[in-house]
Amino acid sequence: MTPLPSNVPHEHDRPVTWVALAGFMGTGKSRIGWELSRRLRLTFIDTDRVIERVTCLKIPEIFELYGEDTFRAYETEVVRRTLRLDHVVVSTGGGTVVREVNRQLLQARGPVVVLSASPETIYKRTRRHRRPMLEIGDPTERIRSLMAERAPAYDAVASLRVSGDDREADDVVDDIVEGLWSWADQHPELARRGPIAEPEKIMEGDPTSNTSFAEEADAAFLEGPEPESLP
């Protein structure tokens, strides 16, 4: 076999070749996910951006035009497709892991890193961009109540928990990489699981009847990820 050039990482240079990031809005999933992907030399995928690309709509527009249930169905379709990939860091939306089916799908493929932050940090980070889930009542109250409501889902899915509060992205990434090495030691089979070609098999049912979204999503995944830029 021809030896790899020295600039191509061997698989043992990194703990995993697939990892998902979850956590509440504003915990830094996109930013940290992107930095983590650079560190591990993996491709960065943000499920919200995939949904926007497939629908040609912004997330708040999807909520306004079709409602939350449709958005959640799209989310599950995209999550399913990320299981077929390898060499990726997958950043999910804040509500993705609230659905049990999404938790099962992600956990079947590899580690799920849950990022956390204080309600104050989350408020500061989310107030400039529209988040449909926070547009109900007083935003700080809403953040606190939604965080409490979702805490069991984040707890249930976490392979690893890391705080993204008031810390340099590099330090957060250091913690994640260290935690992923320990996780991979403890879960050697799952760490080398590889792509799941037929994720439907572990689904409890069809998450959506919207086949056109599914077809478009297939096409988008075949095209490959968008040219990457810093989120």
Q: Site residues (CB under 6 A) for ligand S3P?
A: 25, 29, 48, 59, 93-95, 131-133
**What are the b/e assignments for 21-35, b being 16+ CB within 10 Å?**
bbbbbbbbbbbbbbb
CB of 223 to ligand S3P, least distance (A): 22
Q: Is 163 helix (H, G, I), strand (E, B) or coil?
A: strand
Retrieve residue 140's tokens: 């700080």
Choice between 62 and 180, CB closer to ligand S3P? 62
Choice between 169 and 190, CB closer to ligand S3P? 169
Measured CA to CA in angstroms, residue 48 lies from 76, 94, 168, 221 at distances of 11, 10, 24, 14
Choice between 15 and 207, CB closer to ligand S3P? 207
Choice between 40 and 98, CB closer to ligand S3P? 98
CB of 215 to ligand S3P, least distance (A): 22
CB of 76 to ligand S3P, least distance (A): 12
Choice between 39 and 99, CB closer to ligand S3P? 99
CB contact at 8 A, 91 and 46: yes
Choice between 15 and 94, CB closer to ligand S3P? 94
CB of 8 to ligand S3P, least distance (A): 32
Angle of helix 68-82 versus helix 100-109 axis, rounded to 10: 10
Cβ-Cβ contacts under 8 Å for 44 (sequence gap 6 or more): 33, 34, 37, 88, 89, 91, 225, 228
CB of 70 to ligand S3P, least distance (A): 12
CB of 165 to ligand S3P, least distance (A): 15
Retrieve residue 190's tokens: 């799952």
The enclosing H or E element of 18 equals strand 18-23
